[in-house]
Amino acid sequence: MFQIDFGSQTDRIVGIDLGTTNSLVAYLNLTSPEVIAGEDGSKLVPSVVSLTPGGEVIVGNAARRLLIDAPDRTVYSIKRLMGRGVEDVQEELKLFPFHIAEGSESVIQIRLGDRTFTPPEISAMILRQLKSNAEAALGGEIKYAVITVPAYFNDAQRQATRDAGRIAGLEVLRLVNEPTAAALAYGLDKRKQGIVAVYDLGGGTFDISILKLHEGIFEVLATNGDTHLGGDDIDNRLLRIALEDIQSEWGEDLSRSGEAVQTLRRAVIEAKEALSFAPAVTLSFDWKGRSYHREISRELFEKLIADIVDRTLGPCRDCMRDAGVTPEQIDEVVLVGGSTRIPMVRSAVEVLFRARPHTDLNPDEVVALGAAVQAGILGGQIQDQLLLDVTPLSLGIETYGGVVSKIIHRNSTIPASAMETFTTAVDGQRNVLIHVVQGERELAKDCRSLARFDLKDIDPLPAGMARVEVRFLIDANGILNVTARDARTEQEQSVEVKPTYGLTDEQVEAMIESSIENAEADFQARQLLEARVEADTILAAVEKAARSEAHEQLSEDERKQIRRIKNELILARDHNHYVLIRAKIDELNQATQKLAENMMNAAVSGALKGTKV
């Protein structure tokens, strides 16, 4: 009856905390969860990825060092971009040195050196590292994983995380919410009853969950949070002040130098961490023979971050209201995430919930430990515990006038479902398009667009006669599944999903195909292919530009040079040498710089002419 036996060595399930700052992998050792260290002995794998010029992927502590030496081929905090579109990460881009490639639309493309990757592909590189750490420690291939996500992650962010797992060669058996995982880790050795609040302030996200514990059942009553609030915000606050300070002292603006900013960021983070244990620290930064020193007292630090800590309290109050509990009813508070080491955060939590928070487990490790417990539940080693989680955001469909009709409310226990019947508006109509959104606002435009579902091949009937029953189901991972059937014929109705953000199944498949691990041998071939594609693009652009007015404005010499390099590139393109093609592409780029400027100017003045003042 059972098709997979997770009890055996080869089918072991690991628990993974894929964090903004650090990632960890853990497993259930008989009955107690354990974090697995990497080759360098460290349990925390920094969520940093670097690509060497030779195309080799470096993850973790080694990559962290490259943040300073090779900032243009190194990326961190990729979790902030998971499941998001270019237009909704503009704020992050001001503060994080992400190199977004041009042409990124519904899925962001990050540039590392001369190649581009989507956030799930970069997360997959981290997962692959964790997978190989686990394989080295436990022996045998690891195929299955439980991965944690912030409780407040929406559908697109969850799907992106699951895609990352697939690209890394892991079957993700469950996505577990981070605060719930933490509660599992705490609840394992104590047979607790009562109400527990989990306050999780990580590197980039904040979650609060309130659970009811009852004879091994962990029932989440409500959850709330902010997917853009965390330790990074504190770092950025200090960083900005230090940069301003340095500018007034040295008369030099370092904010445009990636290397300087990374070095300073490291110093700021060290100072922040030290301030959790010392009443005052000195922030020190050495740069090109100059030194900057500044003493920061805890008092000043707390003044600087007070509003950030405050921003966590609103969601906590909302969560208590939704759970229907008062602070007095909360028996225990669990702290998760590195930022909860900050004394000010601890005292704010203590005041709000009127309970002394638990800190017996390492806040950096507790989520991964919980993921390993969940892996044990799925694998059958743990029989008496069960997690009943909720969906953090309401699910709705856009109706007439852009108004949202909510069909599954937030804080509903998952799996949860809703059935809606749709019909046609015009005689003979064959398609109905359903726009599904997530969020609490009244208008679809203020909510998060998830996807458009196209009900296809509806029997052509007079308007209003067709009856298509659509079932919306949020599964135990918090991910939406949609099925439809014709209510008259009871036939399954085909539904085409067009995700607003994120990858289609075909794209994920393509990424698995092209994932570096599988295609290591094809590296040269791929480089060649990419170089040729790029060559074709620039050749086409130059061809087109040659017919423009801007081209006429160049000198005879300039035009001649462009022609010469263009012809060289055409020749190089057909050779099997990507380095040569790249070199010619660069040359042509250089030679056409003025041409591009001319065209840009023409376009701008053209656009200005068209503007009504």
Partner 1 sequence: MERRLPLNYFDFFEIPHHLSLDLKDLEQRFYALSRKWHPDRFARAGAAERQEALDASAILNDGYRVLRDPVQRANYLLKENGFDIGEQQSKEVPPELLEEVFELNMALEESDAEAIAAARQKFTRMQDQIDAELTEAYQRYDQQPGRDVLAQVRSLLNRRKYVSNLVARTAAPESGVAAL
List contacts with partner 1 (CB under 8 A). Answer: 1-6, 173-174, 214-215, 217, 219, 374, 377-380, 386-388, 412-418, 473, 475-476
C-beta closer to partner 1: residue 380 or 464: 380
State the minimum distance, in angstroms, from the CB of residue 545 to partner 1: 50
Query: Which residue, 193 or 514, is less far from partner 1 as judged by CB?
Result: 193
Grouping H, G, I as helix, E, B as strand and the rest as coil, residue 136 is helix
Closest to partner 1 by CB, 269 vs 476, is: 476
Question: At closest approach, how far in Å is the CB of 366 from partner 1?
Answer: 20
Q: What minimum distance in Å lies between the beta carbon of 473 and partner 1?
A: 6
**Smallest distance from partner 1 to CB 2, Å:** 5
Active-site entry in 43, 79, 131, 584: 79
CB 113 within 8 Å of CB 51: yes
Q: Cβ of residue 211: shortest distance to partner 1, in angstroms?
A: 14
The active-site residue out of 178, 232, 233, 364 is 178
> Which residue's CB is nearer to partner 1, number 380 or number 402?
380
Q: Rounded to a whole number, what is the distance in angstroms from the first to the last CA of the chain?
A: 74
Tell me the longest C-alpha to C-alpha distance in the chain.
Answer: 85
Closest to partner 1 by CB, 214 or 354: 214
Q: Which of 121, 200, 226, 389 is catalytic?
A: 200
- Is there a catalytic annotation at residue 445? no
β 144-149/13-18 pair status:
parallel
Strands 22-29 and 45-46: antiparallel
Q: State how far the Cα of 137 lies from the Cα of 36, in Å rounded to an integer.
A: 7
Distance CA(64)–CA(465), nearest Å, equals 61
CA distances from 64 to 47, 50, 365, 591 (A): 8, 8, 20, 36
- Between β-strands 332-336 and 468-474, what pairing exists: parallel, antiparallel or unpaired? unpaired
Kindly report the CA angle at 481 between 379 and 371, in degrees rounded to 5? 30
Instruction: Give least dist CB 476 to partner 1, A.
Output: 5
Catalytic site residue 584?
Answer: no
Cα separation, 374 vs 388, in Å, equals: 12
Residue 196 C-beta: closest distance to partner 1, Å: 17
The answer to whether residue 517 is catalytic is no
Nearest distance in Å: CB 328, partner 1 = 21
Buried b / exposed e along 367-382 (16+ C-beta atoms within 10 A)? bbbbbbbbbbbbbeeb
- Gap between the Cα atoms of 382 and 399, Å rounded: 45
Residue with Cβ nearer partner 1 (37 or 479) = 479
Distance, CA of 121 to CA of 485 (rounded, Å)? 35
C-beta of 13 vs 160, nearer to partner 1: 13
Report the residue number, 243 or 407, with the smaller CB distance to partner 1: 407
The three-state secondary structure class of 511 is: helix
Which residue shows structure tokens 């250089």?
A: 590
Residues in contact with 345: Cβ distance below 8 Å, sequence separation at least 6, in sequence order = 201, 309, 312, 339
Distance CA 394, CA 402 (A): 16
Cβ 487 to partner 1 shortest distance, Å: 15
DSSP states along 263-321: HHHHHHHHHHHHHTTSSEEEEEEEETTEEEEEEEEHHHHHHHHHHHHHTTHHHHHHHHH
The total number of residues shown for the chain amounts to 613
* 299 in catalytic set: no
In the complex with partner 1, the residue whose CB is nearer, 144 or 206, is: 144
Helix, strand, coil % in the chain, rounded to nearest 5: 45, 25, 30
Q: Among all residues, which ones are annotated catalytic?
A: 17, 79, 178, 200
